[in-house]
Amino acid sequence: NAGVTQTPKFQVLKTGQSMTLQCAQDMNHEYMSWYRQDPGMGLRLIHYSVGAGITDQGEVPNGYNVSRSTTEDFPLRLLSAAPSQTSVYFCASSLLAGPTDTQYFGPGTRLTVL
Amino acid sequence: TQLLEQSPQFLSIQEGENLTVYCNSSSVFSSLQWYRQEPGEGPVLLVTVVTGGEVKKLKRLTFQFGDARKDSSLHITAAQPGDTGLYLCAGDGDNFNKFYFGSGTKLNVKP
């Protein structure tokens, strides 16, 4: 099993550009989520999905879109990048949502918006 | 607004020393999780505590969930350089689908 994979590992964008961060898992997990990590802020939930076709907003959803057409993939789209979106982005998955399920994190995508 | 406050923010100690990291909130959580994150990698789950007053041990690491389920602590005995990393706590609040992370404690254990 590859676990949770994320691409690209690094990305530099100019303000106003759009892009998609890819996330895939091969563990047949129902729950997937996206976080951003900024210095001194811990991880903040952007969007999450409890299964294919179902998505919902997290703590900081503005400026980001998601979709979940398959169980395996959960891409995160930046519609018009802004410098405030410079961050490290982590995708995570767990078998089910809930307090006792283990969340597995990908290695992250380091995004810089100029 | 941070639902979970972690302290201290930074900790630098010598190998062999003991330490305690705290995770506090004014909110009640049905569970709290502790993660360790190394530079350039994603967080890795260490433990989940679900019962008020629960104590869990993982080798030299001891985790405790407060009786009121609003706080937790992580105690490391005889720290080793391999314990170096960012320690994060996370709780699910009032929605099992949403997790809130603390800002983390950055631990450096010097040989």
- pLDDT digit string, tens, across residues B99-111: 899 999 999 999 9
CA distances from B90 to A44, A61, A75, B24, B36 (A): 10, 19, 23, 11, 11
CB contact under 8 A, B43 and A45: no
Interface contact A102, partner B, CB < 8 A: yes
Per-residue pLDDT band for B2 (boundaries 50, 70, 90) equals low
Q: 3-state DSSP call for residue B89? A: strand
Phi-psi region of A107 (alpha: psi -120 to 50; beta: other; left: phi over 0): alpha
The alpha carbon of residue B69 is apart from the nearest alpha carbon of chain A, in Å, by 13
Q: At residue B10, does pLDDT exceed 70?
A: yes
Percent above pLDDT 70 for chain B? 96
Chain B residues within an 8 Å CB radius of A48? 97-98
Chain B residues within an 8 Å CB radius of A100? 31, 48, 50
Q: At residue A39, does pLDDT exceed 60?
A: yes
Q: What angle do CA B5, B30, B57 make, to 5 degrees?
A: 75
Interface contact A103, partner B, CB < 8 A: yes
The alpha carbon of residue A100 is apart from the nearest alpha carbon of chain B, in Å, by 6
Average pLDDT over residues A46-53: 94
Q: State how far the Cα of A2 lies from the Cα of A74, in Å rounded to an integer.
A: 16
CB contact under 8 A, A42 and B50: no
Taking only the tens place, the pLDDT of each residue in A65-105 is 999 999 999 999 999 999 999 999 999 999 987 767 889 99
Query: Which of A32, A30, A57, A31 is CA-nearest to residue A46?
Result: A57
Chain A residues within an 8 Å CB radius of B42? 4, 90, 92, 105-108
Q: State how far the Cα of A93 lies from the Cα of A72, in Å rounded to an integer.
A: 10
List, in sequence order, every residue forming a beta bridge with A12; answer none if it has no partner: A112
Q: State how far the Cα of B13 lies from the Cα of B25, in Å rounded to an integer.
A: 26
Interface contact A1, partner B, CB < 8 A: no
Burial of B5: CB neighbours in 10 Å, binned 0-12, 13-18, 19+: middle
Provide the pLDDT for residue A19: 96
Provide the pLDDT for residue B95: 74
